[in-house]
Amino acid sequence: MGVKVLDRLARLVRPLGWASLVANIAIVVTGGAVRLTGSGLGCPTWPRCTDESFRPHGELELHSAIEFGNRMLTFVLAAIAIATFLAAWRTGRRQLRVLALVLALGVPFQAVIGGITVLADLNPWIVSLHLLLSMAMVGVAVLFLRRIDDPGAVWTRGRTQTLAWITFAATWVVLYLGTIVTGAGPHAGDAETPRNGLDPLQISQLHADSVFLLVGLTVGLLLATRAGTAARRAAVVLLGVELGQSVIGFVQYFTDLPEILVGAHMLGAGVISATATGAVLAVVLRPAPSAVPAVPATPAPARAAR
């Protein structure tokens, strides 16, 4: 790849960071579409789609098309991750390089877990891990974007920071319990896939209780931050997303889990992961004087060969 192309990529590090964030949330939504349409075994094996081919052949059925299409989106995510890593590398910033490498390595790791999911006939516990990894990658993308703008920001401690971390931990409890609710519910991804055996009513109640706890903690975080600060704004955004996600969750539960609302709830889960990460970073990271520019206008020129 030419030097000029790499220089252009370095200037695109922020748009590529946003592309990584959007792509990791989008893969959650498309994966949800696979499950909600009962297409989880549309390609019954992995890494091939069938025993004979990497793609469906003969008459392409709807389920095969949906599952195969979701697999192809992995290559789009991989292309974005590679471009993001090259851009981060060209900036010369170690923090960005490490985070971009994590985003890039997450793609094949996620693909392998997806393959194990298929080979295990959509075991609900492995499906949960598949979703949670995507949630983690969303968080890494948010941290990547924050480090672009605040390269010298330092980690701080205090009561408010501790509350922020507790709120963040509660968010992950909510996300995890949400995957358990999904594993107990009717949308298995295939008509013959067994569920996790837990009582849907009881696990749904536990999930709802964890949501109430999260909302309460977020309100506390909102009150603990100063008006007009980035931390206060991030807490407001997180609370708004939580309330919206809660409404969708309650409506879908009392309307027998219609596919469109379940899909919206999965999108909301990705947004929750992003906003929760943004909120904790806004509280615990404080800008500090730094000689490192946020995003260099042009990469440092390569040393002339001697």
More confident residue, 293 or 45: 45
> What gap in Å lies between CA 202 and CA 181, rounded to an integer?
9
**Mean pLDDT across the chain:** 84
pLDDT at 283: 96
The encoded tokens of residue 273 equal 């992961």
* DSSP string across 167-191: HHHHHHHHHHHHHHHHHHSS--SST
Tens digits of residue pLDDT in 139-186: 999 999 999 988 888 899 999 999 999 999 999 999 999 999 888 877
Residue 249 contacts residue 272 (beta carbons within 8 Å) = no
Element (H, E) at 192: none
The answer to whether the pTM exceeds 0.95 is no
Q: What pLDDT, on a 0 to 100 scale, did the predictor assign at position 164?
A: 97
Instruction: Give the pLDDT score at 292.
Output: 47
Residues 6+ apart with CB under 8 A from 24: 77, 103, 134, 137, 138, 141, 270
Q: Residue ranges of the alpha helices (H) in 123-158?
A: 124-149
Model confidence at 295, pLDDT cuts 50, 70, 90, reads low
pLDDT of residue 304: 43
Residue 59 has pLDDT above 50, yes or no: no
Average pLDDT over residues 29-42: 73
Residue 96 confidence (pLDDT) above 90: yes
pLDDT at residue number 297: 44
Task: Report whether pLDDT(277) > 50.
Answer: yes
Task: Tell me which amino acid residue 159 is.
Answer: R
User: Looking at residue 2, what is its pLDDT?
Assistant: 56
CB atoms within 10 A of CB 81: 26
Q: Residues 213, 167: contact at Cβ < 8 Å? A: no
Measured between alpha carbons, how far is residue 268 from residues 28, 49, 175, 231, 250 in Å?
10, 30, 10, 21, 13
> Over 60: is that where the pLDDT of 267 sits?
yes
User: What pLDDT was estimated at residue 163?
Assistant: 97
Q: What confidence score (pLDDT) does residue 153 get?
A: 86
3-class state of residue 86 by DSSP: helix
Q: Is the pLDDT of residue 81 over 80?
A: yes
The verdict on whether omega for the bond into residue 287 sits within 30 degrees of 0, i.e. cis, is no
How far is residue 55's CA from residue 47's CA, in Å, rounded to a whole number? Answer: 10
Distance CA 59, CA 230 (A): 54
Report the candidate in 96, 155, 6, 142 with the shortest Cα–Cα distance to residue 295: 96
Is the pLDDT reported for residue 226 higher than 80? yes
Q: What is the per-residue pLDDT for 288?
A: 67
Which residue segments constitute the domains of the chain, with CATH numbers given? 1-151 (no CATH), 153-288 (1.20.120)
DSSP state of 302: P
pLDDT tens by residue, 246-262: 999 999 888 888 888 98
Say if residues 9 and 16 touch (Cβ distance below 8 Å).
Answer: yes
Residue 114 has pLDDT above 90, yes or no: no
pLDDT of 55 > 70? The answer is: no
156: enclosing H helix or E strand: none
For the cut 90, the answer to whether the pLDDT of residue 187 exceeds it is no
Write phi, then psi, for 44 (nearest 5 degrees). -75, -5
Give the pLDDT confidence score for residue 1 in this predicted structure: 52
Contact between 244 and 250 under an 8 Å Cβ cutoff? The reply is no
pLDDT of residue 115: 83
